[in-house]
Amino acid sequence: MWDKGLKLARHLGMYVLILFSGPLTALEFTDAFVRGLPPGQKNTAAFFTVANAEATAWTIARVSTDAADRVEMHRHEHNNGMMMMREVDELTIEAQSSLQFAPGGLHLMLIGLKQPLREGDRVTLQFTNVAGESVHTEFPVISVVNEHRHH
């Protein structure tokens, strides 16, 4: 069902609104969505592709949102035959390249949701780099029905 949500986002041409604070940056977020969950769930995930059109690397040092107590960057890794989720402190998007956050790989975890997220809601995320520059993005909430992956 993840593919269905991702295809829907692509079909709708989901390009994320980027509001800048600080110097203008050439980051572009595409195929972005926050996973909608049934009421009562306190954590969810966000997926997207981010492209860096700048001539220099852009290192994500922190992500935040008003929708949750905290946001963590995670990576799935295989360890002794088991899939494990590990928090990542920083992620670098090299110059003129992109980084994909997708199920089973890199993703954001929104932990301690302050209210239920419903299909059609929008969540603003703030990405801050190691230099303290921030980019605000708005991701749509897309419900993924009958989804079998768990966090």
Per-residue pLDDT of 47-75, as tens digits, reads: 999 999 999 999 999 999 999 999 999 99
- pLDDT confidence of residue 83: 84
Neighbours of 85 (CB within 10 A): 12
The answer on pLDDT for 22 being more than 60 is: no
Parse the chain into domains and list their residue ranges. 2-143
**Average pLDDT of 20-37?**
78
Instruction: Evaluate if pTM is beyond 0.85.
Output: no
Cβ burial of 66 (10 Å; 0-12, 13-18, 19+) is exposed
Over the stretch 70-101, which tens digit does the pLDDT of each residue have?
999 999 887 888 888 899 999 999 999 999 99
- pLDDT confidence of residue 4: 52
Q: Which two tokens stand for residue 91?
A: 């992620």
- pLDDT confidence of residue 81: 83
Q: Which of 42, 11, 46 is nearest to 123 (CA)?
A: 46
The CATH code for residues 2-143 is 2.60.40.1890
pLDDT bin (cut points 50, 70, 90) of residue 24 is low
Residues in the chain: 151
- CA atoms within a 13 Å half-sphere pointing along the CA-CB vector of 8: 15
Between the alpha carbon of residue 84 and those of residues 62, 115, 150, the distances in Å are 21, 27, 12
CA dist 94 and 98 (Å) reads 7
